[in-house]
Structure 1
């Protein structure tokens, strides 16, 4: 069962590996990212960043969607991590059981924050990103900004104008 899908441009790091896995009680982190899946060094790094009691799988979009739709996945407690709204929207279109999207750190890594709208200190969005979020919301899936579980939640539906 998918517990949460997180958008975080850093993929797996302290907040994801330690805080969210514990708060959600997951036993799997599935990273869905084409670039990471094709890069053995990145796969190794992501697996090293994962807690010992959690299994990490790194897949491209199509393979990730297939795995998440597999009935055997229902018995697992899964945190899905992507690094952009486009991949999250792809999963929302192809996976039946997305409970909600959690947005963490996004929009700073490319260094183009001046070309984006600042929604929070850690969330910068382009028009393309807004359209991806709108598409997800239109499917009836909540998109929530929350860096860590004890932080208050912001529904992105309220931020998109």
Structure 2
């Protein structure tokens, strides 16, 4: 695996390292190197050498650096002299660049290949609001095409997830890079009635992927359409387990539900950091299980899978205890 060094003036590299871990999961062979106000070039070089020595593969190293020509860049460039055939440096580090580099390591084994690949993602991560302030792309700009085939048939469901946050960073980056959808579909009656939330979701789609918000009944109709959706790879997002159950009972052909997060609210108990349940939630998951649905409990693809039966038992015990008081 390619080793990655995130380097910056001040604590920027440590902050972006933490943000990347929150979105894409904990990463091996990645180190943050910082130049603090009381340090000099030799300190940065020493930290970089220590980081490289900790990597499993020291022949393939990628430096992502905040500023071209600054001290961290200059020290990385000095180290690069002996490894020009295999190492690489990319300056102008931002979070989309870092996440794309993490994702690229799943399929690319060369630091220089990854360096070339992540440039467009880093550029596309810079956007302006309101949209009319965004410079118009010329006809020579790169157009990202979705991976859509032309054959007739039904959707291929690459992921179905219950997540009260719906389309957010972990979905738009980590999961999308893993399952490669061409469509992200939020299935929710509540969200479909909310024009602002719908607009925000459609704008949050990653490059090359279209995002939609549809009511549950419309998703059931789409699932039964066998003429128009061949080659479309769908990632479904449900806000609640109740919405997922309605869709499955209506005929959406799902076998597994990825459980990401369920927000805490009044009357709910929280058996772990990201999942909160009331009695209706627990009963709904039991109905899903009775229908043969399997549960994949993890926030990001790199997380280990948790045991849903154990989580539900703990939630039930906590609710029982709460009701006794």
**What is the TM-score of this pair, normalised by structure 2?**
0.46
Contact 1:28–1:77 (CA under 8 A) maintained in structure 2: yes
SS of the counterpart of 2:237? strand
The count of residues paired between Structure 1 and Structure 2 equals 157
Q: CA deviation at 1:65?
A: 1.4
- Distance (whole Å) between structure 2 residues aligned to residue 88 and residue 141 of structure 1: 11
2:312 corresponds in structure 1 to: 160
Q: CA deviation at 1:46?
A: 0.2
Provide, for residues 136-160 of structure 1, a one-character-per-residue CA deviation record: whole Å limited to 9, x for no partner: 0101110221100000112313333
1:123 correspondence with 2:275: yes
Q: Which has the larger radius of gyration?
A: 2
Q: Does 1:78 align with 2:230?
A: no
Per-residue Cα deviation, 1:75-129 (whole angstroms, up to 9, x for no partner): 3111000110100111221234203111111032xx32xx323221000111100
Q: Corresponding residue for 1:93?
A: 249
How has the CA–CA distance of structure 1 residues 74 and 2 changed in structure 2, closer, same or farther, with 3 Å as cutoff?
farther
Give the structure 1 partner of residue 210 of structure 2: 55
C-alpha separation between the residues in 2 aligned to 1:99 and 1:2? 10
- Which of these residues, 189, 195, 206, is aligned with residue 40 of structure 1? 195
Choose between structure 1 and 2: higher strand proportion.
1
Q: Distance in 1 between matches of 2:263 and 2:188?
A: 16
CA contact (8 A) 1:36 1:58 kept: yes
Runs of 4+ with deviation above 4 angstroms: none
User: Hey, what does 1:105 align to over in structure 2?
Assistant: 261
Q: CA 1:144–1:119 in 2, change beyond 3 Å: closer, same or farther?
A: farther
RMSD: 1.4
Aligned partner of 1:26 in structure 2 is: 181
- 1:68 equivalent to 2:223? Answer yes
Gaps of 5+ in 2: 1-155, 314-325
Query: CA 1:18–1:117 in structure 2 vs 1: closer, same or farther (change >3 Å)?
Result: same
Q: TM-score, normalised by structure 1?
A: 0.90
1:96 and 1:89 map into 2 onto residues whose CA distance is: 10
Match of 2:302 in 1: 150
